[in-house]
Amino acid sequence: MHRVNELNESLPSSHRGSLVSTDLATINEKEPMTPTDENEEVAADMPPLTNLKKNKFFGSNSSIAMMVKGSKRGRSLSMPFIHKGPPDLHRAESDKIFLETLTITLSGLYCKLLIVLGMSFPVAEFLSQESPTTFYKGFYLYLYIVSMLFLAFVYSTLLKQKAVDTVLNTAAATADAQAHGDRPKRRSIHQHSTGRYGSFYLRMGAVAFGIGSMIFSGLEFGHYLEMAHKQGCRDYLMAVTPTIRMAFIIIQLQFIFVSNKQKMLKEYQTISRFGLMHMIATNICVWLSVVATETGDEIISFYNDSKNAADIHNHTGMTAVGGFIQVNRTALMNHRSQMEECRRTVIMGALLKSAAPFLSPCTIEYSLISSVILYALWKNVCTHQTNVIHTGAYANKVPKPVTGMTSQHFTVDCANAHKGLFASILVLVFTIISLIMFNVLVKKEHSAPAAIFQVNVCELTLYTMGTLACLLAMHKIKRLRYEKNRQFELDTLLLIMAQSGLYIYFMFSAIAAYLTLDDHSSRSPGTVLLMSTCGILQSTLQTLFIVDAWWRRCTTSQNSKEKPARQLVTFLLLTNVAMWSVNHMESARAEFQPIELGFYGIWAWSIITQISMPLAVFYRFHSTVCLCEIWKCTYKMKLQPVA
């Protein structure tokens, strides 16, 4: 353009306009102007091109050309801050977007309100002497009944749609038979976007935890049958609540992992959003209720033991709130004596007391898994895409269509995994023996310190071997390349969130052990401090390894043959099962942590463990699921088409 200006100035005044016309003609040839919505208003306000050169306000000829070129983009180059706004939407479309945003926000607020109520009711019932049993059990009945009504609506809609599809398919088959006569009919295959949320390993774990939760609810119902027929002894909600909970667990399990419901949820988006959020709140409220109940039972059991009650009450951490502790201790003991008077037998009550520390974590695990799956469903309903692609352990597993048989065939390639398998089996056997020894020796007063010491050494050994395995695996898996379009998925984010439970538990344990190093009456605080440090290091390295290996894939035949780090992945898989059993036992028995119990007191330490240990146990389970996915998917090499 500068070259054009120089030539234009060098020509006589009578010929200068021709060069401007040539410049504009060149622009029009290269970029022909077409009327669009964006430049109609700008073009309407501009003077004719023939009069531009006579207007003194338009400057040089080069600026004229640039203005004409810039007018196609709907803005002036001399004032680039002036943009034309986006096109206006129709009123109906705008109202639709507003209603969708409103329902999404209201469903989230509704879920949050239910969660806050689910946290407040059991705490108020535990701390207050005047709150009746029906104060919060009616709230849980509301949660279960509304969730089951939503599930009934989903199933009825699916059955109706299935009946319609059957009639249409039958009519189509009849018409096809009449049209072709005796000729062989071509078999048509209906391909629906069916799928199941969750991998095979996740579904099996959810089924196992669901069975444990139903057993726990069955024992609660049996505990009601032991109550005597006296005034104030029998509360019908004690029988109705566990019964409805068992029905809710099995129906929800069917809904999450078996049924094909995505198309129906998309059709009834408003109902689905509120229904799914209600089910999420129900599962989280069940988790909070179990945490509050187990914390209260643990405190009651310690106060029932006169030796523990004296030791804990004399501790400095408890004397700070001595009046509050004494009042609630009296209320708890009065409630316990009233329950014992109402019992006719102690069979189911004893079973419930013995099994509760082991079965209640199953309820927590089942509730956590269900909440995550339901959140993935809710997020899918809130999107406008028809086919949302999910990957990972909590993803929507869409089975491939088959032409003949409908059964699924599973193939497992165990190459380069046997060494890690046998090594991890030895570690698992060593852990089981240590836990059995602990359960036997801890019951005797003279051997209790030895039992605690040997199980701490076992846990320290597990964390040390897990740390070394993670370091070697991170080094070897660098040979594999990253998959394209990788991003943080729900699996990795959930793993990082669950790891906070381990951080909370190990940090409080390390602080208590460090501050009691000079206390000679404490039992091996150095071992506890070292174990907590190794636990933090091992969980951190394992999380980094899983997040890194999640998106690596075999891309060459050499990688597919060597399968780098697969032996270590196999070892970490079963080692996490061993760590899960240890953490599961720690959440069930307070004898595991005598140093922390003496330092923080029964109330504080019970709250810390009941909040952190379920997340820690879930971290071990979810790590096992993620390692299974890595073991299965990372070392599969997809054949590339030959050009």
Q: From CA 378, how far away is CA 584, in angstroms rounded?
A: 31
Domain presence at residue 409: no
pLDDT cut 90: percent of the chain above it: 21
CB atoms < 10 A from the CB of 487, how many? 7
Ramachandran angles phi, psi of 31, nearest 5°: -130, 85
Q: Within a domain: residue 46?
A: yes
What tokens were used for 334?
């009065």
- pTM comes to 0.73
Whether 110 is covered by a domain: the verdict is no
Q: Where is pLDDT greater, at 553 or 232?
A: 553
Strands 396-397 and 481-482: unpaired
Are both 134 and 63 inside the same structural domain?
no
Q: Is residue 548 part of a domain?
A: yes
82 assigned to some structural domain: no
Do 279 and 143 fall into the same domain? yes
Mark whether 391 and 423 lie in a shared domain: no
Alpha-carbon distance values, 641 to 111, 182, 554, 637 (Å): 48, 41, 16, 13
Together in a domain, 252 and 161 = yes
For the stretch 159-188, pLDDT in tens is: 888 888 788 888 888 887 777 665 545 444
Cβ count within 10 A of residue 59: 13
Domain shared by 526 and 610, yes or no: yes
Q: Is the pLDDT of residue 111 over 90?
A: yes
Same-domain status, 372 and 472? no
Pick from 368, 366, 382: nearest CA to 274: 382
Quick one: average pLDDT of 201-212? Answer: 85
**Is there a single domain that holds both residue 24 and residue 130?**
no
Residue 20 confidence (pLDDT): 44
Measured between alpha carbons, how far is 499 from 535 in angstroms, rounded to an integer?
11
Q: Which of 242, 182, 190, 247 is nearest to 218 (CA)?
A: 242
107 pLDDT higher than 70: yes
Task: Please check whether residue 99 lies inside any domain of the structure.
Answer: no
- Residue 276: predicted pLDDT: 93
One domain, residues 11 and 52? yes
**Mean predicted confidence (pLDDT) in 191-203:** 60
pLDDT at 318 over 60: no
Let me know if residue 103 belongs to a domain. no
Q: What is residue 338's predicted lDDT score, i.e. its pLDDT?
A: 55
Residue where the block lists tokens 């082991």: 358
**Residue 59 clears pLDDT 50, i.e. is over it:** no
Listed range (58-72, 462-476, 615-629) with the worst mean pLDDT: 58-72
* pLDDT tens, residue by residue, 330-347: 555 555 555 555 665 567
Q: Could you list the residue range(s) of the whole structural domain that residue 372 is in?
A: 115-173+193-302+343-397
Q: What is the pLDDT of residues 45-54, one digit of tens each?
A: 454 544 444 4
Element (H, E) at 552: strand 552-553
**Domains of the chain: total:** 3
Residues 381 and 434 grouped into a single domain: no
Instruction: Tell me which range, 24-28, 270-274, 537-541, 590-594, is most confidently predicted by mean pLDDT.
Output: 537-541
Lowest mean pLDDT among 22-26, 295-299, 610-614: 22-26
Indicate whether 376 and 288 sit together in one domain.
yes
Q: How far apart, in whole angstroms, are the C-alpha atoms of residue 366 and residue 208?
A: 9
Same domain, 236 and 349: yes
* Same domain? 555 vs 619: yes
Report whether 200 contacts 394 (CB < 8 A): no
Question: Residue 323: inside a domain, yes or no?
Answer: no
**397 phi and psi, to 5 degrees?**
-80, 105
Per-residue model confidence (pLDDT) at position 27: 44
pLDDT tens for residues 25-44? 444 444 444 444 444 444 44
